[in-house]
Structure 1
């Protein structure tokens, strides 16, 4: 890989991490039972997986989302978010690299979103108990599914625009 290609890749990572952080922080809908919030950052995590594959999804999802938690005062969630959102991007990216994922990219992003809801549920069982944790599942599923659908729409529009990405 040439130096200019390395710089272009580094810039893509930096921009997508920053976009994930911003989209996570712009609209925050608090979830009372789990002391967390719903956001739009998943869309960018999935776009990163679509553009950069599983490694990009992992890095952008983990770092961008956990930076948002730190900046928004949800530091208790940052380590969990680093793992859950990183794996969300990795899972979507890994599926996108398969024949099925290439044919039906929405399936890959939906599975990533389902993992995100499950991952937060598992972590929140230990933080708040099973009853409080289960209350967060519908909101997290909605957030993940919204991110899954909007990322595919955005990615297709980006490809049709013929912008060199």
Structure 2
């Protein structure tokens, strides 16, 4: 295996582990709703900002899937794989556009809104429309906080010159 492939696999593995960690450690239960608010989205967005949409899909999908399994939300694991994977992919895709390059916060916020919508769609089948709507506000907050935090961390990393251009 080439040195570059080893570096990519290592980065992806670390980012998956960070997604699991930030999902499990920063876990605030939703009062009267289903699930919890966490900072796993922040790592997914950082992956999209640092790497690309394909790797953001992998990190978002696998990291969130594993976190759900470890936290006992195994029913949500396949849903999280799809929704969070697509969240990373959408962020990465939007970051490739002129608007996304100029305004990365907008690109990541749109992906965070997708995440809330994605869970809502799946939860309609699980809980009905009224039951599914309960988690939308917390998921929106989670996605938007993740977008803001990721952009702040990314900017700090660039400013500190930790990241090479």
Equivalences, count: 164
* CA displacement, residues 63-108 of structure 1 (integer Å, 9 cap, x when unaligned): 0011000011000000000000000000000000111110000011
1:15 aligns with 2:14: yes
**1:33 CA drift (Å):** 4.9
CA RMSD of aligned residues (A): 1.3
1:63 aligns with 2:53: no
8 Å contact from structure 1 (residues 33, 132) kept in 2: no
* CA displacement, residues 87-133 of structure 1 (integer Å, 9 cap, x when unaligned): 00000000001111100000110000000000000011111111111
**1:31 CA drift (Å):** 2.9
Describe the SS at the equivalent of 1:129. helix
8 Å contact from structure 1 (residues 54, 93) kept in 2: yes
TM (norm. structure 1) is 0.95
- Tell me, which stretches of 5 or more residues in structure 2 are unaligned? none
TM (norm. structure 2) is 0.95
Partner of 1:135 in structure 2? 134
- Tell me, which stretches of 5 or more residues in structure 1 are unaligned? none
Which aligned runs of 4 or more in structure 1 are off by greater than 6 angstroms? none
